[in-house]
Structure 1
Amino acid sequence: MLYLASQSPRRRQLLEQLGLPFLVVDVEVPEQREAGEDPRDYVSRVANAKARAGHKVLNIDGAIVLGADTEVVLDDAVFGKPADADDAKAMLRRLSGRTHQVISVLWAVSGQGEYCETCVSRVRFGDLSVAQIDAYVATGEPFGKAGAYAIQGRGGSLIEHLEGSYSGVMGLPLFETARLLRRFALPA
């Protein structure tokens, strides 16, 4: 049986698109980057910790637990979820007119082993005015989103160019997820 170790409604919706039955397992994993930790290593560590924590909690033979993490990275700075409106505005000001990476890492853990997939997308924001940033933050959409934006929502209008995976920027790259699950003989 497939389990998703995530509280994200977007990840649930995306995984549903693959047509596989799954259940959600709730895990709490600290998302704190260690000093000097490479951004990609950080994202991978968190995704792996989620999958392992879910597998440990379930303790069910045959369980396959999928853990994922997605972060926005600019100039080696990892932009997590904004703490408040001022934090969201500061993130969006830094992203304005620049290209950043969105790193999504998936880990699947089962009694058969652990496997990983990584997806890196490049997103370029247009030049954003203070008024655009203020109006977007006022919608409330940036909260709970890495980098303070949602590509699938109003935040999509901030994006000038995307190179990579749309679903990866949302939080679960479907191509890589399907490829990962096929390693467990799941018909993804």
Structure 2
Amino acid sequence: MLNEKFKNHRIILASGSPRRQQFLKELDVDFEIQLKDIEEIYPEHLQAEEITNFLAKLKASAFTLDLDDNDILITSDTIVWLNNKALGKPKDYDDAFEMLTEMSGTTHKVITSVCIKTTIKEIVFYDETLVTFTALSSDEIKYYLNNYKPFDKAGSYGIQEWIGLVAIEKIEGSYANVVGLPTHRLYQELMKL
């Protein structure tokens, strides 16, 4: 569907995430990957989806001068929102351990924003999913961190990994959003473009 619609366009995914790349492949979209080094810093007053919207747009802005008329750029950002604060990618092992300890036995929000940018248009949208963790022991958290090393993931976990099988009691909303790309929303927005 999307390949037919965009056969005269070049779709660019600006993400090094293998999970986002896999989702686009599964949507049957031909795309190329382009990466730019962007310092993911946002104003401190931003809350929840304001943070991810800002960062998705920031990532897209780095490509403004590189886009041709037939290009469609897709950028994205994901955070975990817990106790009125953003949990992004952990700085190190100890930071990851602290995040997972804080999430243990609680419900948090996973928020992903997507920016679709062309030379004439910019669309930003977000999705959120509630994820409930069972209580995790220190040994379980250490086992997960040592064996899966989720240091490139917001909130220090991947729902598609071991921790998702043993610790996630309930999700309300899109599973794909928790993995890092709300595919249902992305598909709808691209079809409307």
Whether the TM-score (by the shorter chain) exceeds 0.5 is yes
Partner of 2:3: none
Task: Please state if 1:51 is matched with 2:63.
Answer: no
What percentage of aligned pairs have identical amino acids?
A: 35
Partner of 1:72: 80
Partner of 2:153: 145
Post-superposition CA distance 1:26-48 (Å, at most 9, x none): 12222123222112111101111
Task: Please state if 1:123 is matched with 2:123.
Answer: no
For the 8 Å contact 1:44–1:105, the answer to whether it is kept is yes
Q: 1:75 & 1:100 partners in 2: Cα distance?
A: 8
Q: 1:51 & 1:180 partners in 2: Cα distance?
A: 16
CA RMSD of aligned residues (A): 1.2
Q: TM-score, normalised by structure 1?
A: 0.93
Q: Which moved more, 1:16-25 or 1:34-43?
A: 34-43
Specify every segment of 5 or more residues in structure 1 that has no aligned partner in the other structure, as ranges: none
Task: Please state if 1:42 is matched with 2:51.
Answer: yes
Task: Please state if 1:19 is matched with 2:28.
Answer: yes
Task: Please state if 1:178 is matched with 2:191.
Answer: no
Deviation at 1:79, TM superposition (A): 0.6
Partner of 2:6: none
Report the 3-state secondary structure (helix = DSSP H, G, I; strand = E; otherwise coil) of the residue aligned with 2:143: helix
The total of aligned residue pairs comes to 183
AA partner of residue 34 (structure 1)? P
Q: TM-score, normalised by structure 2?
A: 0.90
Deviation at 1:171, TM superposition (A): 0.5
